Structure 1
Amino acid sequence: MTGTVLFDLFGVIAQHQSTAGKNRLVRTAGVPGPAFWDAYWALRPPYDRGELTGPGYWRRVADSLGVRFDGHRTAELVEADIAGWSAVDDTMVSLVEELAAAGRRIALLSNIPEELAVHYEEHHPWLQHFAIRAFSCRIGHAKPDPRSYRWCQEALHTEPEHIFFVDDRQENIRAAEATGMHGHLFTTPARLREALATWDSATGSRS
């Protein structure tokens, strides 16, 4: 049997925030864009690791910006944030379903906050194809922390050299490879198919 394919979510199967989605967030926050994004990303890691709820995260963002978001504004920000990350690449979804139908073992490792994870579980039935869904908010570790990759290895009961990790960020690929996984920097579905075929040929009957 061929090895496990461990997918990143955003930038591989799901799309990154669109310009429209980003603009909606800034409008909802009512603060200048550059300052907003500095706070948004600087404070994101604990939210992704599940250490904060959505309201708690946006409270910290507001504090950093020197403003206050009331309950209604906070709910709007949570909703806008989810909407901005909700688009998927249908070609990649089809590839995931194709691999699953062929009996390929696939898994997911994503930096994602709880509210967004729940949204994906409620709206995307193809998530059921993954042997594990290692959402950072639930495993307590986010890429490129080595513990996130080791969590997957242990949950899959698989040696790292039998895992083909797909991500669109080089720093995440390097971190995965440092734990012994094979890494593929995602660019297009076609190149991913080629890389998988090459890996399968090289690894032969690995399980």
Structure 2
Amino acid sequence: MPESPVTTDVVLFDLFGVIARHQSTEGKDRLVRTAGVPAPEFRDAYWGQRRPYDQGELTGPAYWNRVADALAVRFDQRRIAELIAADVASWSAVDETMVALVEELAVSGRRIALLSNIPEELALYYEAHHPWLEHFSVRAFSCRMGHAKPDPGAYRWCLQALNADPNRALFVDDREENIHAAKETGIRAHLFTGPEQLRATL
């Protein structure tokens, strides 16, 4: 059942799984082919090293060198460039229905913000290719603020940047652990399952 509509000062959106699509199967396959290693081992190394990359502690090349070390292989500079390009492409699809909803909220005067676990290379891609990002009064990218969900610091950083009372903010995300963490910091939260359910809450 959707939450009862309430007045909020700001709607704080997750990016991937809400406005942008999760990593595509085609994109995952391209990454595995580019790396030249078996898919299960690649997946473990890719995600096992991801958090410091998302939090801005590693550059793209440094991240892929760590992935290579975990796989006991070596990626040269050309292979690393290809992996970075393939990684960005795998996360590049957006849900146009949700983009339209974001633009609708912005036109109506609703204050909106963004909180996303995202590495710098992918953040730069979105900024270069998606002008609708300008609608967000705050873009809290993990790679630039040093906190990644569900770290409570990520939510507190957003509230401070927005100068917002937590009980007057609504956080929208598709992952239960992120929703739970938001609620722990006093923020109202909506588990995203689709645009229509979100509209009912808004």
**TM bucket, shorter chain:** over 0.9
The one-letter amino acid paired with 2:151 is D
Deviation at 1:142, TM superposition (A): 0.1
Of residues 148, 155, 161, the one that matches 1:155 is: 161
Letter matched to residue 40 of structure 2: P
- 138, 147, 151: which one pairs with 2:144? 138
Give the letter for the 1:16 counterpart: H
CA distance in 2, matches of 1:165, 1:2: 10
- Runs of 4+ in structure 1 displaced over 2 angstroms? none
Residue among 54, 66, 78 paired with 1:48: 54
Confirm or deny that 1:65 pairs with 2:71. yes
Number of aligned residue pairs: 196
Q: Which of residues 188, 192, 198 is equivalent to 1:192?
A: 198
> What pairs up with 1:9-88 in 2 under 5 angstroms?
9-88=15-94
The 2-side partners of 1:2 and 1:147 are apart by 21
Q: CA deviation at 1:2?
A: 3.6
Corresponding residue number in structure 2 for 1:8: 14
Residues 112, 136 of structure 2: 8 Å contact kept: yes
Aligned AA for 2:98? Answer: M
Paired residue secondary structure (2:115): strand
Aligned positions of 1:74-153 closer than 5 A: 74-153=80-159
1:79 to partner: Cα distance:
0.1
C-alpha deviation, 1:195, in angstroms: 1.2
Looking at structure 2, the residues matched to 43 and 69 of structure 1 have their Cα atoms a distance apart, in angstroms, of 15
Task: With the length of structure 2 as denominator, give the TM-score of the two structures.
Answer: 0.96
Equivalent in the alignment of 2:3: none
Distance in 2 between residues matched to 1:179 and 1:131, nearest whole Å: 21
The normalised TM-score by structure 1 is 0.94
3-state SS of 2:69 partner:
helix
Alpha-carbon contact 2:56-2:146 (below 8 Å) kept? yes
Residue 108 of structure 1 and its aligned partner are, at CA, apart by 0.1
> Any unmatched runs of 5+ in structure 1?
197-207
